[in-house]
């Protein structure tokens, strides 16, 4: 049973949309359909955060809580709003009085040209909804996807770090229960479908429904967060005929732990699994904090990052090094493969027509196993890696008993460094073996030059990262990384 | 991180006191108007609530169309054939224009010709506008543009500065400034060094892209709503392309979402294209560039390739120097003559060069025409001499700060620039001493040496670099401004001036100046769009001059009305002028006190004109280009910064750990706004020199054409420990508005301290004996290569 419209809360009003092209982004919807121009277009590619809005969605064990998340409205398709509350800059002022997230920016002289400001306000608003007294690090994490060209950020940081204790009884808090109730009702509606301008969108609610939809329409485009896919529409002016949204399939948005594995649903956004992974693999948690921005991590998913098979996706090298597996599903039939075996060639995978990624299984570390991850990019925040190195290593009796090394950015696909591994496996970790492993990398990879880095730099850094790993394993007291140096 | 508020170092508390107490014109004068106070930005409340209206936010008029522009795919080619039939037939398309449809001028070069509005038979850079469409929606317009079929005959393209120099391909003739006999001085000096540096350009990356809306008027004219730093030039160019008089074009500019120089000349083409399409369709047309189009089609900060030969003594004192600066101007002159001039004017930065020859070449390349950007060539000029300071220091085994200090301009001697202007009121020696102490430079230098000795992977570096920046347009006639002030019968004031608000707080400061004059609350001064029908023939808001020029013009307008009010009071109440006082929203006449509103009404009833224009032109300045001598600058703005960085010698990654800044803004009109300018400028300057890398391929296509590939500083790049202070008790000795100093551009160049600190960290690898060459932007890749070069030097020495 389907329902020919998408329903969501626009602040406190239930809105249903139909006959709208599902290629429309939330930003276009706000500015061109609602004539709400407070939300700005800075780049239409999810890189600047000027368009940041907040979505509140049901969360918690019984779906009785609201989770407020900042997203880039410029790369979120309007269908993704179904069953959620959309909060924009226009909704924050209450009876003419500025919201805490707004007043603190005024008080700290945090606006100059003001064009990025609505985005910063919304990011700060979302942060404070879950954290009244954020630390500097938490503020930076929440605002790293918002670019400001005028202020130099100091004033904005001071604004966002200002405690909101005692001023958190805003209109959203007052309407909390009512919002939960309305969203619960919207969630009960039949599967939403949106058709407009000859293009279609459907948001299946179950795995069976999703599988059926993909069998029926093998050429349909799967969309999760859309943080990459939407660029084809906003930057390359493409139109997608049939979008199948996976974010409404509850069974794809889970995270579970077994004795030996962490099982992550393919449609679960990064922000929902970062803490678990950080617990088992601190480097992985730290690295995920540098994937895109908060807005991207709130929408972007593991399934999407693997699924689009980019040579510069940050998760695949880590998953390959860890020996993670993934479960693929087609029409009721499932198979489980190594993530490593998923990638065939540039943007080519083993995924069959109508097949989709259901989950990813990450092994928990065994005693002695350490994952070292290094993301090299021009900028620390919100940048795409020139090189990503993942080294999963264990030593026993002074010898390397286990090693798997994978790199991103070094080849057309994320790929193991077999030759380098061979130099290390079973040997003592010494300067000589490290030098040999570094040398062996030239057999593993022939990187290319592009706007991010030269081939020469990629190779040299990849080699040096093996050396860095060695230095770190030798001594845990010496600081070796600038990213988190304080 | 610390803000001004909780900084404990000396000078800073005094600066804060200034902010609170409003020290005006050297007297303690707690002015109600607010000059000297940290008034919030006039638009702050609207900006945080999404209520501030930018051009793209204006409600569409009935039938409003959207423009998109077809661009060249080649760096240099003849257009053999152009088939636009599919474009014309595309859904929603109402009009398509080529250069043949332009009613008037087809060249919109701002100073010199060279910028065809739409290509005329050939293209000379990738992204050059060829044709434009107007369609019923933004998406349809953009999609239609892609359907053009254009046949090119490609021609050889000049794509590097070296090629341009070899071919003598220049947009304007070379120019030399000279003082004394540098060749002899260099030869006679104890030591000689020479070097080269490539300084990268910079994308403006204003958050609001280029946008203009053109609305046809009933008499064949055009109203333009634009995001432009130069409304009067937009007015003139729109009139010229439409072949109508200037009085039929009105340009309205409420606010920009950032400018930084990128909307000085680069806003005009889109306004002109919108106007031509609006004229043709008799419908309102909006021309908005998508981010990628904006980055491809608009000019950037000029990349430079500079070289030097210096002679110096064993103390490191410069005896003579030859400097060559080669600006990559792109395809046309645009503002490049003045930009390369400014690079030459600032080739000394803060230092006495003694015998000096500075030559500037304006290289013509087949890329988009490079343009104004905060600092206007000054930053690129300064980089050479800052490189010289580091190079001399390493050569002599001294701390670069010592070399910088001894080469500073003197007060009574050693105070003439290579263009023969005396450097007056020079406070840099004291300013640097104060910063060196407050930033704890010497102790931190020691701590860094210890840290570096104990860490095999990470190395720290520190550097203190000064800035001396000349204030005035070097094109003399631009140093003028107008303003218009009205007082209404309820005592509220309306203010217009020729400057444009791009976030820098100009409107706030000018309103404070007018409020100060009348001693009324600043909130009673309304300020709206810069409009060419209110204040005509305005100069661009550029060269850090916005407040200096427009503040003085507004003050003049206010003073004229004030005098009328005083005269009226004297006549009506038989008092002397001294008995009329403006205070606390009141006008006190002898024993009587009137509210400002009451008295305005009285004046109106007494038939006193409550409206006046004001005008200002900068005094003292002159420059003779034939002899390369003169006084191009009214005064100099100065400042200095200390930055500490940490680098990873295995990856080239780095981070700025702490920055201390001391900036001379004279008597600050608004300390909070000035500090915001300083912080923002520093971070932007740091970005220019570190992560912001423009990459063109061998066919002249810009590869870094979106914010995913072009990385401006993000929030984690701001130093955690960031201390910015205003130099206390430092009124401008020249008679500027309230003895303030310009602040927009000067602190941009403080970012050089980060670059120099990176070099310091790299130099530690050779025990500070070698000066690394570090071209900019100093991306992690460039830093790693510099590290490897340093290691190679070390290896060679061991052998």
Opening angle at CA B138, ends B135 and B140, nearest 5: 55
Shortest distance, CA A450 to any CA of chain B (angstroms): 8
Shortest distance, CA A253 to any CA of chain B (angstroms): 28
Residue B9: pLDDT over 80: no
Residue B25: pLDDT over 60: no
Query: Does A113 contact B673 at a Cβ distance shorter than 8 Å?
Result: no
Shortest distance, CA B151 to any CA of chain A (angstroms): 22
- Token pair recorded at residue B170: 């220049």
Residue A182: pLDDT over 60: yes
A114: closest chain B residue by CA: B47
Q: Which residues, including other chains, have CB under 8 Å from residue B93's CB and lie 6 or more apart?
A: B87, B133, B134, B135, B140, B141, B144
* First-to-last C-alpha distance (Å) of chain A: 56
Query: Does A109 contact B44 at a Cβ distance shorter than 8 Å?
Result: yes
| CATH code that applies to domain B1-20+427-475+629-799 | 3.30.365.10
pLDDT band at A308 (very low <50, low <70, confident <90, very high): confident
pLDDT band at A476 (very low <50, low <70, confident <90, very high): confident
What percent of chain B shows pLDDT beyond 90? 95
Residue A164: pLDDT over 80: yes
pLDDT band at B31 (very low <50, low <70, confident <90, very high): low
Shortest distance, CA B69 to any CA of chain A (angstroms): 15
Residue B606: pLDDT over 60: yes
pLDDT in tens, A443-462: 999 999 999 999 999 999 99
Q: Which CATH architecture has domain A93-169?
A: Orthogonal Bundle (1.10)
Query: Does B708 contact A378 at a Cβ distance shorter than 8 Å?
Result: no
Query: Does A486 contact B139 at a Cβ distance shorter than 8 Å?
Result: no
Q: Can you list the alpha helix ranges (DSSP code H) found in B358-399?
A: 378-396
Name the residue facing A457 among B673, B683, B781 (closest C-beta): B781
Query: Does B681 contact A152 at a Cβ distance shorter than 8 Å?
Result: yes
Residue B2: pLDDT over 90: no
pLDDT in tens, B381-394: 999 999 999 999 99
Strands B530-531 and B480-487 turn out to be unpaired
pLDDT in tens, B713-753: 999 999 999 999 999 999 999 999 999 999 999 999 999 99
pLDDT in tens, A236-275: 999 999 999 999 999 999 999 999 999 999 999 999 999 9
3.30.1280.10, 3.40.190.10, 3.30.365.10, 3.30.565.10: CATH of B61-156+204-297 = 3.30.365.10
Q: Can you list the alpha helix ranges (DSSP code H) found in A7-116?
A: 26-28, 100-107
Decide if domain A2-90+174-245 falls under CATH 3.10.20.30: yes
A53: closest chain B residue by CA: B50
Mean pLDDT, chain B, integer: 95
Shortest distance, CA A422 to any CA of chain B (angstroms): 23
Residue B111: pLDDT over 70: yes
Residue A2: pLDDT over 90: no
Name the residue facing B44 among A42, A111, A148 (closest C-beta): A111
Query: Does A40 contact B208 at a Cβ distance shorter than 8 Å?
Result: yes
Taking the C-alpha atoms of residue B773 and residue B751, their distance in angstroms, rounded to an integer, is 17
Residue ranges per structural domain of chain A? 2-90+174-245, 93-169, 250-363, 370-474
Query: Does B703 contact A143 at a Cβ distance shorter than 8 Å?
Result: no
Q: B647 or B9: whose pLDDT is higher? A: B647
Catalytic residues of B: 745
> What 3 state SS string does A317-375 have?
HHHHHHCCEEEEEECCEEEEEEHHHCEEECCEECCCCCCEEEEEEEECCCCCCEEEEEE
Name the residue facing A379 among B50, B691, B722 (closest C-beta): B691
The most distant pair of C-alpha atoms in chain B lies apart, rounded to whole Å, by 95
**DSSP label of B635:** E
Residues in B touching A113 (Cβ below 8 Å): 206-208, 255-259, 502-503
Query: Does B683 contact A115 at a Cβ distance shorter than 8 Å?
Result: no
Decide if domain B31-54+480-617 falls under CATH 3.30.1280.10: no
pLDDT in tens, B436-447: 999 999 999 999
pLDDT in tens, A49-76: 999 999 999 998 889 999 999 999 999 9
Query: Does A114 contact B52 at a Cβ distance shorter than 8 Å?
Result: yes
Q: Which CATH architecture has domain A250-363?
A: 2-Layer Sandwich (3.30)
Residue ranges per structural domain of chain B? 1-20+427-475+629-799, 31-54+480-617, 61-156+204-297, 158-200+300-418
Query: Does B207 contact A42 at a Cβ distance shorter than 8 Å?
Result: yes
- Same CATH fold, B61-156+204-297 and B31-54+480-617? yes
**Among A58, A60, A290, A297, residue whose Cα is nearest residue A187:** A58
Question: Which of A73, A152, A377 to mutate to test binding with chain B, by most B CBs within 10 Å of its CB?
Answer: A152
Shortest distance, CA B182 to any CA of chain A (angstroms): 40
Determine the average pLDDT of the residues in A103-113: 98
Residue A331: pLDDT over 90: yes
Name the residue facing B676 among A44, A121, A151 (closest C-beta): A151
Residues in B touching A384 (Cβ below 8 Å): 708-709
A478: closest chain B residue by CA: B455
Strands B211-216 and B222-226 turn out to be antiparallel
Question: Which of A73, A97, A99, A114 to mutate to test binding with chain B, by most B CBs within 10 Å of its CB?
Answer: A114
Name the residue facing B708 among A47, A88, A381 (closest C-beta): A47
Cis peptide before B726 (omega within 30 of 0): no
Determine the average pLDDT of the residues in B568-596: 97
Find how far residue A339's CA is from the centre of its chain.
Answer: 18
Question: Which of B49, B205, B691, B697 to mutate to test binding with chain A, by most A CBs within 10 Å of its CB?
Answer: B49
Residue B797: pLDDT over 90: no
Question: What is the count of residue pairs from A and B with beta carbons less than 8 Å apart?
Answer: 264
Mean pLDDT, chain A, integer: 96
pLDDT in tens, B481-533: 999 999 999 999 999 999 999 999 999 999 999 999 999 999 999 998 999 99
Taking the C-alpha atoms of residue B508 and residue B514, their distance in angstroms, rounded to an integer, is 10
Question: Which of B143, B207, B262, B546 to mutate to test binding with chain A, by most A CBs within 10 Å of its CB?
Answer: B207
Name the residue facing B48 among A36, A111, A451 (closest C-beta): A111
Query: Does A43 contact B54 at a Cβ distance shorter than 8 Å?
Result: no
pLDDT band at A312 (very low <50, low <70, confident <90, very high): confident
Q: Which CATH architecture has domain B158-200+300-418?
A: 2-Layer Sandwich (3.30)
Taking the C-alpha atoms of residue B162 and residue B114, their distance in angstroms, rounded to an integer, is 22
3.40.50.261, 3.30.390.50, 3.40.640.10, 3.40.50.720: CATH of A370-474 = 3.30.390.50
């Amino acid at each position: 049973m389907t329902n020919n419209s998408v329903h969501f809360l626009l602040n406190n009003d239930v809105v249903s949309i139909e006959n709208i092209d599902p290629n429309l982004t939330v930003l276009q919807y706000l500015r061109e359909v609602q004539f709400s121009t407070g939300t700005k277009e800075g780049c239409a590619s999810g890189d600047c955060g000027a368009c940041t809005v907040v979505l509140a969605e049901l969360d918690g064990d019984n779906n009785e809580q609201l989770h407020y998340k900042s997203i880039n409205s410029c790369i979120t398709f309007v269908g993704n709003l179904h069953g959620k509350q959309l909060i924009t800059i226009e909704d924050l002022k209450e009876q003419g009085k500025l919201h805490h997230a707004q007043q603190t920016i005024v008080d700290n002289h945090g606006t100059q040209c003001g064009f990025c400001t609505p985005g910063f306000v919304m990011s700060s608003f979302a942060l404070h909804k879950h954290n009244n007294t954020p630390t500097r690090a938490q503020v930076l994490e929440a605002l790293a996807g918002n670019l400001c060209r005028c202020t130099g950020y100091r004033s904005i940081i001071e604004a966002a770090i200002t405690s909101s204790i005692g001023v958190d009884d805003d209109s959203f808090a007052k309407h909390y229960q009512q919002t939960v109730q309305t969203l619960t009702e919207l969630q009960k509606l039949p599967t939403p479908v949106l058709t407009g301008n000859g293009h279609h969108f459907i948001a299946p609610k179950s795995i069976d429904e999703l599988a059926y939809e993909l069998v029926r329409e093998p050429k349909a485009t799967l969309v999760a967060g859309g943080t990459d896919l939407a660029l084809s529409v906003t930057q390359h002016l493409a139109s997608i005929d049939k979008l199948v949204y996976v974010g409404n399939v509850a069974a794809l948005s889970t995270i579970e732990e077994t004795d030996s594995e962490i099982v992550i649903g393919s449609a679960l956004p990064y922000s929902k699994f970062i803490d678990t992974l950080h617990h088992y693999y601190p480097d992985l948690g730290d690295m995920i904090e540098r994937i895109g921005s908060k807005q991207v991590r709130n929408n972007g998913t593991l399934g999407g990052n693997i699924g689009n098979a980019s040579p510069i996706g940050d998760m695949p090298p880590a998953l390959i090094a860890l020996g993670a597996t993934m479960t693929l599903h087609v029409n009721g039939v499932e198979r489980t493969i190594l993530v490593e075996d998923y990638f065939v060639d540039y943007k080519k995978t083993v995924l069959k027509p109508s097949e989709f990624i259901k989950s990813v299984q990450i092994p928990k570390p065994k005693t002695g196993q350490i994952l070292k991850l290094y993301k090299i990019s021009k900028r620390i925040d919100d940048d795409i890696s020139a090189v990503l190195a993942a080294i999963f290593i264990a030593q026993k009796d002074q010898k390397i008993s286990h090693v798997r090394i994978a790199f991103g950015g070094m080849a057309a696909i994320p790929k193991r460094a077999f030759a380098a591994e061979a130099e290390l496996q079973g040997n003592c970790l010494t300067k000589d073996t490290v030098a040999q492993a570094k040398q062996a990398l030239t057999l593993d990879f022939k990187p290319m030059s592009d706007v991010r880095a030269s081939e020469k730099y990629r190779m040299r850094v990849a080699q040096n990262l093996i050396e860095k790993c060695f230095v770190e394993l030798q001594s845990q007291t010496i600081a070796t990384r600038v990213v988190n140096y304080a | 991180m610390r803000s001004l508020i909780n900084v404990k170092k000396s000078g800073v508390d005094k600066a804060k006191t200034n902010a609170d107490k409003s020290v005006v014109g050297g007297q303690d004068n707690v002015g109600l108007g607010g000059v000297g106070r940290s008034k919030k930005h006039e638009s702050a409340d609207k900006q945080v609530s999404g209520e501030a209206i930018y051009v793209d936010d204006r409600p569409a008029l009935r039938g409003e169309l959207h423009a998109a522009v077809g661009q060249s795919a080649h760096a240099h080619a003849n257009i053999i054939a152009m088939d636009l039939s599919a474009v014309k037939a595309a859904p929603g398309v109402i009009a398509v224009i080529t250069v043949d449809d332009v009613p008037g001028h087809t060249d919109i070069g701002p100073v010199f010709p060279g910028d065809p509005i739409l290509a005329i038979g050939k293209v000379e850079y990738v992204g050059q506008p060829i044709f434009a469409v107007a369609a019923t929606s933004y998406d349809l317009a953009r999609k239609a543009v892609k359907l053009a079929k254009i046949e090119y005959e490609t021609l050889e393209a000049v794509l590097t500065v070296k090629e341009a120099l070899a071919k003598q391909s220049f947009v304007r003739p070379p120019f030399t400034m000279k003082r004394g006999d540098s060749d002899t001085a260099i030869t006679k000096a104890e030591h000689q060094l020479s070097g080269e540096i490539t300084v990268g350009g910079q994308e403006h990356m204003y958050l609001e892209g280029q946008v203009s809306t053109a609305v046809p008027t009933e008499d064949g004219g055009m109203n333009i709503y634009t995001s432009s730093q130069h409304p009067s030039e937009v007015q003139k160019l729109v009139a010229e392309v439409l072949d109508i008089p200037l009085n039929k074009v009105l340009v309205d500019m409420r606010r920009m979402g950032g400018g930084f120089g990128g909307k000085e000349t680069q806003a005009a083409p889109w306004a002109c294209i919108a106007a031509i399409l609006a004229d043709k369709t008799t419908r309102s047309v909006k021309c908005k560039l998508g981010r990628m189009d904006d980055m491809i089609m608009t000019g950037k900060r000029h990349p430079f390739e500079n070289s030097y030969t210096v002679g110096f003594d064993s103390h490191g004192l410069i005896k003579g120097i030859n400097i060559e600066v080669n600006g990559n101007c792109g395809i046309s002159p645009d503002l490049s003559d003045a930009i390369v001039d400014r690079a030459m004017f600032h080739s000394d930065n803060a230092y006495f060069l003694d015998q000096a020859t500075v030559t500037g070449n304006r290289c013509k390349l087949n890329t988009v025409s490079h343009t104004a950007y905060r600092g206007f060539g000054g930053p690129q000029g300064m980089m050479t001499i800052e490189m010289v300071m580091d190079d001399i220091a390493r050569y002599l085994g001294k701390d670069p700060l010592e070399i910088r200090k001894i080469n500073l301009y003197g007060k009574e001697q050693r105070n003439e620039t290579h263009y023969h202007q005396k450097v007056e009121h020079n406070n840099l020696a004291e300013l640097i001493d104060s910063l060196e102490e407050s930033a704890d430079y010497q102790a931190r230098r020691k701590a860094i040496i210890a840290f570096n000795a104990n860490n095999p992977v990470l190395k720290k570096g520190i550097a203190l670099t000064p800035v001396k920046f000349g204030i005035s347009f070097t094109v003399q006639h631009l140093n003028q401004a107008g303003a218009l002030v009205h007082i209404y019968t309820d005592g509220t004031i309306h203010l217009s001036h020729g400057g444009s608000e791009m976030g820098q707080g100009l409107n706030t400061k000018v309103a404070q100046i007018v409020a100060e004059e009348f001693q009324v609350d600043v909130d009673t001064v309304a300020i709206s769009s810069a409009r060419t029908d209110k204040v005509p023939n305005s100069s661009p808001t550029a060269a850090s001059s916005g407040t200096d020029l427009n503040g003085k013009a507004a003050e003049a307008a206010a003073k004229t009305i004030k005098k009328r009010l005083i005269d009226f009071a004297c006549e009506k109440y038989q008092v002397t002028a001294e008995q009329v006082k403006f205070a606390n929203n009141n006008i006190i006449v002898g024993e009587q006190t009137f509210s400002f509103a009451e008295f305005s009404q009285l004046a109106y009833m007494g038939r006193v004109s409550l409206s006046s224009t004001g005008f200002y032109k900068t005094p003292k300045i002159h420059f003779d280009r034939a002899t390369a001598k003169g006084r191009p600058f009214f005064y100099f703005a100065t400042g200095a910064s200390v930055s500490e960085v940490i680098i990873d010698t295995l990856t080239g990654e780095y981070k700025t750990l702490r920055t201390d800044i001391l900036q001379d803004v004279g008597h600050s009109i608004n300390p909070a706004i000035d500090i915001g300018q300083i912080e923002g400028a520093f971070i932007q300057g740091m970005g220019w020199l570190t992560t912001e890398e423009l990459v063109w391929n061998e066919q002249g296509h810009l590869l870094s054409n979106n914010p995913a590939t072009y990385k401006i500083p993000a929030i984690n790049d701001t130093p955690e420990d960031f201390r910015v202070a205003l130099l206390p008790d430092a009124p401008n000795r020249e008679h500027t508005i309230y003895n303030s100093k310009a602040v927009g551009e000067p602190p941009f160049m403080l970012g050089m301290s980060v670059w120099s600190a990176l070099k310091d960290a790299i130099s530690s690898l050779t025990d500070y004996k070698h000066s690394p060459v570090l071209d900019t932007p100093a991306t992690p890749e460039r830093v790693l290569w510099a590290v490897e070069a340093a290691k190679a030097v070390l290896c060679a020495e061991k052998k």
